[in-house]
């Protein structure tokens, strides 16, 4: 008599990555012939609700927005990706679900959910809460009709210890019980992290002096009502967390953004409620990330990569070469960005008909002297003010010194207004199209450099060293509305900017926090509160979770170590893993056969792990997260 094999799987983390693994397990199990199917039990372990998990919980403020339009994200394969692997039981991207819910709302949707869904289009930026509703619905749909032989058990608590047994694992839960499993998937997402030495000093000093120090955090986890009204608050960081928090402290406290009737860039005015704090904001570059262009697609329709294609960027590996970023990959993407910029400029400004032909001839030149030829061409045809210098965009004000804080704030406001106006022009803005090309190329590079596709020294010093901050500042910015709102807040005097390369400290004389910039004379600000407007550091050696600390201490996992150009070992932010399906490597260098890793902790071997799967994209490109989940599911089911 044949005995059906039973498989016990523990997925630690029930947010989007964990749900993708669950969905792939179900899809691949269903794709098997009935006689070949194992009896599968999945233990989903997370103190937060399955689907939304921690970051996307449905009870958070609607002021906290996603960083992608509704047309972009998915947690299940759809479109091209759906044809590449087992069919999903619920093949709906977020935008598919949005349209379905708008037409026939689910009874579980709140009035606020329904109102938001009515107001959303494919190109609008949803709240994190409504995306959480999508994730919640996907989970409910997956588990609502599993059928015999597949069971899902939800443990609404934390996993605190994973013990390797001679066969399988034993997982200790915070509620006091244990779970036995044959395989464990770590899909932990964002984790609390230790502060760096400077942050620790500020926190400890604040405790002594009775000041408010707000450590890096998920915005929905903090009680922002504790920040005082009409008093200065210092903010470090002008990224996405900053916009979430600042909107919550303005609109969320009764202020109103009103249409002004002015052109883009000055399209809004702000009417204060009187309950706002007075925000002093600072970041290394001194300005926020650039706003996304207003488009009807994720990548501009006019952008077609000619140089940084998968065929060309992947040709190095195909020929047995491990490329460097600066030497091999950046020249390809740089060409595409240059073409997107100047071809758009030629179209809108009436450059001679021969210009684009000459430009293409220059960019097609395989000789590395093409930048010199480009300079000669631009010298003869394009005024200096209209030329592109992508790398200089990392420092919007260069090394310019400002004579006063007022002068600097006027410069930042001008920057914001121009950026918002550029976003409003959409496909007719040369800079936004160059950024669009870099965003498109980012997906190609992400695929090419994964799993050892780049030299270790280049990964650290080049890709992560200078390119990542540049492309994030250009292509990972907020919706244009957020920049319009920030400009309105600056004009209303609610927000001021301290300057580039800010120094935060505890002022010994005043006993308060202080911030100043070496590039702004007389621009020192003091306050009783300091907010670190950023997420906790994504470094496994700094994490503060009981589970991952014990995994590291027990040697079941280890951080990956790479070598710099001068042979100095550098500890990666992510875990050491094998090639896909990403089995963990222990402290002794041995592979943990049934311990898998997915998501942010793969930053040691992947670039851009925080980016969601792109609806309709290939599993090898924008849908890479789904491919990783599928590979793990196949391995768990004994098919890989």
Whether residue 74 sits in one domain with residue 219: no
Query: Cβ(441)–Cβ(433) under 8 Å?
Result: no
Whether residue 125 sits in one domain with residue 62: yes
Is the sign of the CA dihedral 539, 545, 549, 554 positive or negative? negative
Reported residue count of the chain is 640
Three state DSSP letters for 98-131: HHHHHHCCCCCCCHHHHHHHHHCCCCCCCEHHHH
What pLDDT was estimated at residue 1? 34
Task: Count Cβ atoms below 10 Å from residue 158 Cβ, excluding itself.
Answer: 17
Task: Give the residue-averaged pLDDT of 599-608.
Answer: 93
Please state, for a pLDDT cut of 90, what percent of the chain lies above it. Answer: 90
Burial bucket for residue 317 (CB in 10 Å: 0-12, 13-18, 19+): middle
pLDDT digits (tens, 9 = 90+) for 177-194: 999 999 999 999 999 999
Residue 402 in tokens = 């400002």
* pLDDT band per the 50, 70, 90 thresholds, residue 620: confident
The answer to whether residue 556 is domain-embedded is no
The answer to whether residue 412 is domain-embedded is no
Residues 6+ apart with CB under 8 A from 319: none
pLDDT digits (tens, 9 = 90+) for 211-248: 999 999 999 999 999 999 999 999 999 999 999 999 99
The answer to whether residue 148 is domain-embedded is yes
Task: Count Cβ atoms below 10 Å from residue 177 Cβ, excluding itself.
Answer: 10
603 three-class SS: coil
What pLDDT was estimated at residue 158? 98
Whether residue 153 sits in one domain with residue 73: yes
The answer to whether residue 550 is domain-embedded is no
Query: Cβ(145)–Cβ(26) under 8 Å?
Result: no
The answer to whether residue 542 is domain-embedded is no
| Nearest by Cα to 244 from 49, 55, 415, 395 | 55
* pLDDT band per the 50, 70, 90 thresholds, residue 209: very high
The C-alpha atoms of residue 483 and residue 421 are separated, in whole angstroms, by 10
The last residue of a domain, from among 475, 490, 513: 475
Q: Where is average pLDDT lowest: 56-65, 297-306, 567-576?
A: 567-576
Whether residue 257 sits in one domain with residue 271: yes
Whether residue 146 sits in one domain with residue 215: no
Which domain covers residue 334, as residue numbers? 310-395+421-475
Task: Give the residue-averaged pLDDT of 428-442.
Answer: 97
The answer to whether residue 599 is domain-embedded is yes
pLDDT digits (tens, 9 = 90+) for 15-31: 999 999 999 999 999 99
Indicate whether 424 pLDDT > 90.
Answer: yes
Angle at 510 between CA 504 and CA 511, to 5 degrees: 70
Indicate whether 472 pLDDT > 50.
Answer: yes
pLDDT digits (tens, 9 = 90+) for 156-169: 999 999 999 999 99
Whether residue 177 sits in one domain with residue 203: no
Indicate whether 2 pLDDT > 90.
Answer: no
The last residue of a domain, from among 458, 475, 492: 475
Q: CATH number, domain at 267?
A: 3.50.50.60
Task: Give the residue-averaged pLDDT of 441-454.
Answer: 93
Whether residue 484 sits in one domain with residue 470: no
Whether residue 599 sits in one domain with residue 465: no
Residue 370 in tokens = 């093409």
Please state, for a pLDDT cut of 70, what percent of the chain lies above it. Answer: 99
What pLDDT was estimated at residue 621? 84
152 sits in which H/E element: strand 150-155
Indicate whether 384 pLDDT > 70.
Answer: yes
64 three-class SS: coil
Distance of CA 391 to the CA centre of its chain: 21
pLDDT digits (tens, 9 = 90+) for 69-88: 999 999 999 998 899 999 99
Q: Where is average pLDDT lowest: 97-106, 115-124, 363-372?
A: 363-372
pLDDT digits (tens, 9 = 90+) for 478-495: 999 999 999 999 999 999
Whether residue 263 sits in one domain with residue 352: no
Whether residue 490 sits in one domain with residue 350: no
What pLDDT was estimated at residue 3? 53
Whether residue 208 sits in one domain with residue 271: yes
Whether residue 325 sits in one domain with residue 268: no
Indicate whether 563 pLDDT > 80.
Answer: no
* pLDDT band per the 50, 70, 90 thresholds, residue 640: low
Number of domain units in the chain = 3
Question: Which pTM does this prediction carry?
Answer: 0.95
What pLDDT was estimated at residue 38? 92
The answer to whether residue 492 is domain-embedded is yes
The answer to whether residue 37 is domain-embedded is yes
Indicate whether 280 pLDDT > 70.
Answer: yes
What pLDDT was estimated at residue 539? 95
The last residue of a domain, from among 513, 532, 551: 532
The C-alpha atoms of residue 138 and residue 180 are separated, in whole angstroms, by 26
């Amino acid at each position: 008599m044949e005995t059906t094999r039973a498989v016990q799987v523990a997925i630690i983390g029930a947010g989007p990555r964990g749900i993708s693994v669950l969905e792939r397990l179900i899809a691949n199990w269903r794709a098997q012939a009935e006689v070949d199917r194992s009896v599968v039990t999945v233990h989903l372990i997370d103190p937060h609700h399955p689907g939304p998990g921690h970051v996307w919980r449905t009870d958070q403020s609607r002021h906290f927005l996603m960083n992608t339009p509704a047309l972009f994200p998915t947690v299940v394969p759809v479109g091209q990706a759906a044809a590449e692997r087992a069919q999903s039981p619920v093949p709906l991207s977020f935008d598919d679900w949005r349209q379905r819910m708008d037409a026939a709302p689910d009874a579980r949707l709140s009035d606020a959910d329904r109102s938001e869904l009515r107001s959303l289009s494919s190109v609008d930026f949803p709240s994190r809460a409504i995306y959480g509703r999508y994730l919640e619905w996907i989970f409910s749909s997956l588990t609502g009709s599993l059928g015999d032989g597949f069971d899902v058990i939800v443990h609404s608590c934390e996993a605190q210890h994973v013990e390797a047994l001679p066969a399988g694992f034993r997982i200790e839960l915070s509620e006091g019980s244990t779970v036995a499993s044959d395989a464990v998937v770590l899909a932990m997402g964002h984790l609390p992290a230790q502060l760096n030495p400077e942050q620790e000093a500020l926190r400890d000093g604040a405790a002594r002096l009775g000041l408010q120090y707000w450590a890096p955090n998920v915005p929905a986890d903090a009680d922002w009502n504790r920040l005082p009204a009409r008093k200065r608050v210092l903010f470090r960081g002008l990224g996405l967390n900053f916009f979430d928090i600042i909107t919550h402290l303005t609109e969320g406290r009764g202020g109103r953004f009103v249409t002004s009737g002015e052109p883009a860039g000055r399209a809004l005015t702000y009417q204060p409620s009187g309950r706002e704090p007075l925000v002093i904001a600072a970041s290394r570059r001194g300005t926020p990330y650039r706003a996304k262009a207003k488009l009807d697609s994720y990548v501009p329709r006019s952008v077609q990569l000619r140089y940084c294609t998968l065929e060309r960027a992947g040709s190095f590996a195909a020929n047995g070469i491990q490329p460097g970023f600066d030497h091999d990959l950046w020249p390809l993407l740089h060409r595409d960005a240059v073409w997107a910029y100047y071809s758009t400029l030629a179209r809108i400004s009436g450059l001679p008909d021969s210009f684009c032909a000459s430009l293409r001839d220059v960019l097609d030149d395989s000789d590395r002297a093409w930048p010199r030829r480009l300079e000669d061409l631009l010298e003869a045809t394009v005024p200096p003010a209209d030329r592109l210098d992508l790398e200089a965009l990392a420092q919007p004000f260069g090394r310019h010194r400002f004579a006063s804080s007022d002068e600097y704030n006027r410069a930042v406001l001008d920057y914001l207004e121009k950026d918002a106006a550029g976003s409003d022009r959409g496909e007719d803005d040369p800079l936004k199209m160059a950024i669009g090309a870099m965003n498109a190329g980012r997906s190609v590079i992400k695929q090419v450099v994964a799993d050892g596709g780049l030299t270790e020294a280049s990964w650290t010093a080049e890709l992560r060293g200078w390119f990542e901050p540049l492309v994030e500042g250009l292509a990972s910015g907020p919706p244009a509305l957020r920049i319009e709102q920030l400009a309105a807040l600056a004009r209303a005097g609610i927000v001021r900017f301290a300057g580039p390369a800010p120094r935060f400290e505890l002022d010994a004389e005043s006993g308060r926090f202080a911030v100043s910039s070496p590039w702004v004379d007389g621009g020192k600000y003091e306050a009783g509160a300091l907010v670190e407007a950023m997420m906790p550091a994504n470094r496994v050696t700094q994490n503060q979770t009981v589970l991952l600390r014990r995994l590291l201490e027990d040697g079941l996992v280890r951080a990956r170590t790479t070598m710099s150009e001068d042979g100095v070992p550098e500890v990666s932010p992510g875990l050491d893993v094998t090639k896909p399906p990403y089995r963990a490597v222990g402290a002794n260098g041995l592979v943990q056969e049934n311990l898998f890793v997915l998501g942010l902790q793969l930053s040691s071997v992947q670039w851009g792990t925080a980016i969601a799967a792109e609806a309709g994209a290939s599993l090898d490109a924008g849908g890479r997260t789904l491919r990783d989940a599928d590979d793990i599911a196949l391995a768990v089911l004994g098919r890989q």
